[in-house]
Structure 1
Amino acid sequence: MHFEQPHLLFLLIVLLPLALLLFAPRKAARNAFAPEVLKLLLQRTSTVPQWLRSALLLAAAALFIVALARPVVDHGEIKVQSSTIDLIVGFDISRSMFANDVYPSRLALAKRKFDALLGDINGTRIGVIGFSARAFMVSPLTEDFATLRYLVSNMNTDSISLRGTDLLQALQQTDTLLEGSDKKALLLFTDGGGGSDFDQEIAYARAHNIVVFLYNIGTEKGGVIPTEQGAMTDKHGDIVVVRRNDDVKALALQSGGAYLPYSLKHNDIKALADALKSCFTPRREKSDVIRDLQELFVWPLSAGVLLLLMALYSLPQRRRRHA
Structure 2
Amino acid sequence: MEFLYPYFLISLLFLPLLWIVGTKNGDDLRRRFTPELYNKMVAKGGGLGRRVRLGVLLVSAAFGIVALSRPVIERGEIKVERQTVDLVVAFDISRSMFADDVYPNRFELAKRKFFDLLEDLNDARVGVIGFSSRAFLVAPLTRDFASVKYLVEHMGLDFVSLRGTDMFTPLEVTENLLHQSDKKAVLIFTDGGDKKEFSKEIAYARAHGIKVFIYAIGTEKGGVMKSDGGIVRDSVGNIVITRLNPAVKVLAEETGGVYMRYSLSSGDMKQLAEAIRSRLKATKTKESLLKDREELFYYPLMVAIALFLAAYASLPKRDAKRAAGEMK
TM over 0.5: yes
Residue of structure 2 in register with 1:81 after alignment: 81
Residue of structure 2 in register with 1:266 after alignment: 266
Matches within 5 A, 1:176-215: 176-215=176-215
1:164 aligned counterpart, secondary structure = coil
Are 1:47 and 1:317, in contact at CA under 8 Å, matched by a contact in 2? no
1:91 aligned counterpart, secondary structure = strand
Q: Structure 2: how far apart are the matches of 1:218 and 1:29?
A: 86
CA 1:122–1:34 in 2, change beyond 3 Å: closer, same or farther? farther
Q: Structure 2: how far apart are the matches of 1:35 and 1:133?
A: 93
Q: Structure 2: how far apart are the matches of 1:315 and 1:27?
A: 18
Q: Structure 1: how far apart are the matches of 2:126 and 2:25?
A: 69
Deviation at 1:40, TM superposition (A): 6.7
Q: Structure 1: how far apart are the matches of 2:203 and 2:37?
A: 92
1:60 aligned counterpart, secondary structure = helix
Report the AA paired with residue 21 of structure 1: V
Deviation at 1:32, TM superposition (A): 6.8
**Moved >6 Å (runs of 4+):** 32-37
Are 1:192 and 1:248, in contact at CA under 8 Å, matched by a contact in 2? yes
Matches within 5 A, 1:212-227: 212-227=212-227
- CA deviations over 1:237-268 (Å, ceiling 9, x no partner): 00011111111111111111111111221221
Deviation at 1:180, TM superposition (A): 2.7
Residue of structure 2 in register with 1:239 after alignment: 239
Deviation at 1:320, TM superposition (A): 4.5
- CA deviations over 1:40-68 (Å, ceiling 9, x no partner): 76323654433332222111111111112
Report the AA paired with residue 109 of structure 1: L
- Percentage of pairs with the same residue: 48
Deviation at 1:274, TM superposition (A): 0.9
Deviation at 1:33, TM superposition (A): 7.8
CA 1:44–1:251 in 2, change beyond 3 Å: closer, same or farther? same
1:302 and 2:310 matched: no
1:82 aligned counterpart, secondary structure = strand
- CA deviations over 1:71-112 (Å, ceiling 9, x no partner): 111111222223211111100000011111112211111111
Are 2:84 and 2:286, in contact at CA under 8 Å, matched by a contact in 1? no
Matches within 5 A, 1:83-232: 83-155=83-155, 157-232=157-232
Are 2:184 and 2:210, in contact at CA under 8 Å, matched by a contact in 1? yes
Q: What's the TM-score once normalised by structure 2's chain length?
A: 0.90
Q: Structure 2: how far apart are the matches of 1:210 and 1:250?
A: 14
Q: What's the TM-score once normalised by structure 1's chain length?
A: 0.91
Q: Structure 2: how far apart are the matches of 1:27 and 1:318?
A: 24
CA 1:177–1:52 in 2, change beyond 3 Å: closer, same or farther? same
Are 2:95 and 2:227, in contact at CA under 8 Å, matched by a contact in 1? no
1:215 aligned counterpart, secondary structure = strand
Are 2:44 and 2:317, in contact at CA under 8 Å, matched by a contact in 1? no
CA 1:239–1:41 in 2, change beyond 3 Å: closer, same or farther? farther
Deviation at 1:164, TM superposition (A): 0.5
Deviation at 1:154, TM superposition (A): 1.7
Report the AA paired with residue 89 of structure 1: V
Residue of structure 1 in register with 2:6 after alignment: 6
Deviation at 1:22, TM superposition (A): 3.1
Q: Structure 1: how far apart are the matches of 2:26 and 2:287?
A: 65
1:288 aligned counterpart, secondary structure = strand
Are 2:43 and 2:317, in contact at CA under 8 Å, matched by a contact in 1? no
Deviation at 1:309, TM superposition (A): 1.8
- CA deviations over 1:139-180 (Å, ceiling 9, x no partner): 111111111111111236544121100000111111111103
CA 1:235–1:296 in 2, change beyond 3 Å: closer, same or farther? same
Q: Structure 2: how far apart are the matches of 1:36 and 1:137?
A: 82
CA 1:25–1:249 in 2, change beyond 3 Å: closer, same or farther? closer
Matches within 5 A, 1:55-70: 55-70=55-70
Deviation at 1:207, TM superposition (A): 1.6
1:43 aligned counterpart, secondary structure = coil
CA 1:25–1:212 in 2, change beyond 3 Å: closer, same or farther? closer
Q: Structure 2: how far apart are the matches of 1:65 and 1:191?
A: 61
Q: Structure 1: how far apart are the matches of 2:209 and 2:222?
A: 33
2:84 aligned counterpart, secondary structure = strand
Indicate the RMSD between aligned Cα atoms, in angstroms.
2.6
Deviation at 1:199, TM superposition (A): 1.6
Q: How many residues align?
A: 323
2:290 aligned counterpart, secondary structure = strand
Are 2:212 and 2:256, in contact at CA under 8 Å, matched by a contact in 1? yes
1:287 aligned counterpart, secondary structure = strand
Are 1:97 and 1:105, in contact at CA under 8 Å, matched by a contact in 2? yes
Are 1:63 and 1:300, in contact at CA under 8 Å, matched by a contact in 2? yes
Q: Structure 1: how far apart are the matches of 2:245 and 2:37?
A: 88
Ranges in structure 2 where 5+ consecutive residues have no aligned partner: none
Matches within 5 A, 1:279-294: 279-294=279-294
CA 1:195–1:35 in 2, change beyond 3 Å: closer, same or farther? farther
Deviation at 1:31, TM superposition (A): 4.2
